[in-house]
Structure 1
């Protein structure tokens, strides 16, 4: 009977400690979000190259950086500023391809639209950074389905 009482006390003590930790974590994280501190660095993607090396695409203040990451160093491989496509860029592409009725016009419009969507479709703060690269991320499942379709 004594061991049963001791076991119940241990379980109750553990439950109180876990509840206190959960409450403190929620309270502290809510305080950080209320202050509006947004992470200025977003990891767009990561591709492992070897056992201890990888290539990482990072977005910082409208600039995408391709970084080579090893145990000893981080090297900038490429840097690209994200700019939105203006209507003048579309007009220049149409003029370069010929008359407005040509087949190249549709291509130029779709290229300009795709570039605009890629560059500034969603602000960095609105992106769900928590699931990026996760098995729960919808983009991960889309990439997997695309790879499986290519293998057929």
Structure 2
């Protein structure tokens, strides 16, 4: 009989904690969703090129920027305005490098940039919650758990 009472208390406590989390999530996210606040900067891809340096591709207001990031500074390497039909291709990445298309380092970098861009686009589209779903972005949402599992699998 004592085991049944303890189990009921644990279940009730868990229910209260989940209800509190749900309430807080609804309360805190209402302000951001109501104001239409969106993340203006999207990281498309990142490629480390040294111990403390990397090349980052980001999108800001319809423009794609290639940034050189070091410990001391962030430098804009290239900027390209994107139209809805524009996509970055392997040839575009090679032309950004200023090397002949048959150069082995240029091809390797272009392939890794293309892969990173495709992977980042897929991940970004999978991580965007659907605004119409009542539990979107909540700890109670099944999509949140799927995204968490996918992230853990990716980092193995």
Q: TM-score, normalised by structure 1?
A: 0.47
| Structure (1/2) with the larger helix percentage | 1
User: Looking at CA atoms only, which structure, 1 or 2, has the larger radius of gyration?
Assistant: 1
**TM-score (ref. length: structure 2):** 0.46
